[in-house]
Amino acid sequence: MTDVNALLKTLALRAEALDAADPLAGTRERFLLPEGVIYLDGNSLGALPAAVPPAIEDAVCRQWGTDLIRSWNDNGWWDSPLRVGDTLGRLVGAAPGQVVVGDSTSVQLYNALVAAVRLRPGRTLLLTDPDHFPTDQYIADSVARVLDVEVRRVPAREVRSVLAAEGFDVAVAAYAPVDYRTGEAYDMAAITSAVHEAGAVMLWDLCHAAGALDLQLDAIQADFAVGCGYKYLSGGPGAPAFLYVAERHQSSFDQPLTGWHGHADPFGMHGTYTPAPGVASARISTPPLLSLLALEAALTAYDGVAMADVRAKSLGLTGFFLECADDLLEGFGFTAATPREPERRGSQVALRHPQAYPLIAALVARGVIGDMRAPDLLRFGVNPLYVSYGDVLDCVRQLREIVSSGEHRDPRFRRSSTVT
């Protein structure tokens, strides 16, 4: 026990020093975190930014309630998918005019995947990850069916060698830069480059990366990317997704979801579709404005923040988490699923433990909120804008208390259901 207390004291001093030196310490005030909660589930649903409640009250009461239909022009509703797209673009390394916001990730993915496969007529393979988030795999299968191509499931770490051997037949590679379960990160630039060498098109799903990693879509010459607004970007439950279409592909973006907002002359009410110029052709139809305006307000939490600083702190936090886990959880049956090399880490730490479910449930009951993925993964996401080194230590300390005392064996922590 003395050893542990000494360890805890040392780690607490470390956390204190790291927090004191944190250039992003000030952004925590931009979020309304509930008293007494340590929130490590921002990789699933981001915390509430303080800018959102007044923005939503204005959107509901003044824009909708008072200005009514005139808000489409007078309050910028019509331009919002492109305006918020540009704001979001800065956070993923996209110059203005390449990102549109709206719909869900699954819908954006379907739209972009069809358009991407259509860019490579005659090629028959769509590569995706067997460990990709389920929706990505289902949508890939569905797209393959309507376009009569074949899905080949190749793990991210093997995709470069498969491309070298069989790349001539690959139309599109659709991958995530971060494994949503383990938090392992892949080399986006190297994979994109290998895909291009094979003459194929690269589509990235940034759901578990946008807002936490220092993404450089333009610099790595990504072709398409999609992502959601409600994880690290903290845009609110079911916040609209986004779609990046590299400028060079916009004039040939041939999407299946040809809604009227993507038309060159939407109010001409024409009977046949003519795509708008630029990324506007990727608009589908009326976006869910309350959710979209919440996302816009949420993104102000990034005002004046450099994504390089976000990434540096994220790695600091996950590194410190692993260090705390090494020191405090040894001998309790945990193994780290997240790689130790910083360049191979996203913005979460995943630990394996056979009692993952009750352990997470016991943590949540204490106000330390992470989540789990069956069968044995405990996931802890760190959003550098509001998570501190002190939070990380406190989480691991409480996890040790729970596992060492057997607190998680309480019947109320038995498995029922969980939701992302």
- x/- track of binding to its own copies for residues 341-380 (CB under 8 A): -----------------------x----x-x-xx------
- CA dist list (Å): 103 to 183, 257, 330, 353: 25, 11, 44, 36
- x/- track of binding to its own copies for residues 135-164 (CB under 8 A): x-xxx-xxx-xxx-----x-----------
Contact call for residue 287 and its own copies (CB under 8 A): yes
Q: Work out the angle at residue 201's Cα, subtended by the Cα atoms of residues 200 and 207, and round it to the nearest 5 degrees.
A: 140
Q: Which is nearer to its own copies, 336 or 364 (CB)?
A: 364
**Measured from the CB of residue 307, what is the shortest distance to its own copies in angstroms?**
24
d(CA 112, CA 108): 6
Strand order in the sheet with 125-128: 99-101, 242-245, 224-227, 201-205, 170-175, 125-128, 150-153
Residue 33 DSSP label: P
- x/- track of binding to its own copies for residues 33-62 (CB under 8 A): -x--x-x-x--xx-xx---xx--xx--xx-
User: Which of 266, 278, 339, 342 touches its own copies (CB under 8 A)?
Assistant: 266
Nearest Cα neighbor of 263 from 2, 61, 78, 27 is 78
User: Which of 291, 318, 347, 388 touches its own copies (CB under 8 A)?
Assistant: 291
For residue 301, give both structure tokens: 């939490």
Contact call for residue 213 and its own copies (CB under 8 A): no
**Measured from the CB of residue 268, what is the shortest distance to its own copies in angstroms?**
7
- x/- track of binding to its own copies for residues 55-94 (CB under 8 A): -xx--xx-xxxx-xxxxxx---xx----------------
Residue 204 DSSP label: E
**Measured from the CB of residue 140, what is the shortest distance to its own copies in angstroms?**
10
Contact, 316 vs 389, CB < 8 A? yes
Contact call for residue 277 and its own copies (CB under 8 A): no
d(CA 396, CA 378): 12
Contact, 240 vs 102, CB < 8 A? yes
**Measured from the CB of residue 136, what is the shortest distance to its own copies in angstroms?**
9
Contact call for residue 264 and its own copies (CB under 8 A): no
Q: 172 has which bridge partners?
A: 126, 201
